Amino acid sequence: MPKRIIKRFLPHHDKIREHKNLKILGTLLHDPNLLHLNRRSVSGAFAVGLFIAWIPVPFQMLLSAIIAIFVRVNLPISVALVWLTNPLTMPPLFYLAYSVGSWVLGEEPKNIQFEMSMEWLNQSLHTVWQPFLLGSLIFGVVSSVLGTLAVRALWRLKVVQNWNDRKEKRLAKRLQALSNHTGPKT
């Protein structure tokens, strides 16, 4: 069960609440949904984490955590999903966002050599920022919605499967009891 595996790695709620650096958040951390694994909390965490992963801002993890706290969804999952865009995946994903943004705006994508430097930002970002941000926003919204729907659908399927398994076990138990009760006597 993925839920049991994830629960093993989650810190206890009291440990987070009493952490010396997190006390500045006061009662905001007292909401049990911040660490619970339920359908609403996890699907909401997917929405927050996947949306913020596509937004090209520094401190994405912090932004994701703040939003997760205020909308009361699973904090660790929303922060972890931000790592979809990490230093290895960021260039191809952001180029894809730029390409889609250019296509939506009806512009031809420019052939720009990306570099992680302030010089590149000063020289090139002004020519690509509109299609890049539009593409990032599109991918953020789409992945957020699809992630939420996927989690809710998979959660529902698992609940139905567990329900059917329990129903089959109860039926098998009744049949076993009936066969033991009415079986041949020797």
Q: What φ, ψ does residue 91 adopt, rounded to 5°?
A: -60, -50
Give the per-residue pLDDT at 133.
Answer: 86
* Any domain includes 177: yes
**Residues of the chain above pLDDT 70, percent:** 73
Query: Does the pLDDT value for residue 9 go beyond 50?
Result: yes
Position 118 in a domain: yes
The CA distances from residue 39 to 93, 146, 166, in Å, are 28, 15, 20
In a domain? residue 9: yes
Residue 174 lies in a domain: yes
Spatial distance between the Cα atoms of 82 and 35, rounded to a whole number of angstroms = 17
In the block, tokens 């969804």 appear at 73
How many structural domains does the chain have?
1
Q: Please report whether residue 85 resides in a domain.
A: yes
Judge whether 135 lies within some domain: yes
Whether residue 165 is predicted with pLDDT greater than 80 in this model: the reply is yes
Q: Which domain holds residue 16?
A: 2-181
Helix 90-105, helix 118-181: angle, nearest 10: 100
**70 falls within a domain:** yes
Give the span between the Cα atoms of 78 and 42, in whole angstroms.
8
Q: For residue 186, tell me if it sits in a domain.
A: no
Lowest mean pLDDT among 86-95, 142-151, 155-164, 165-174: 86-95
Q: Would you give the DSSP letter of residue 82? A: G
Total residues found in the chain within this entry: 186
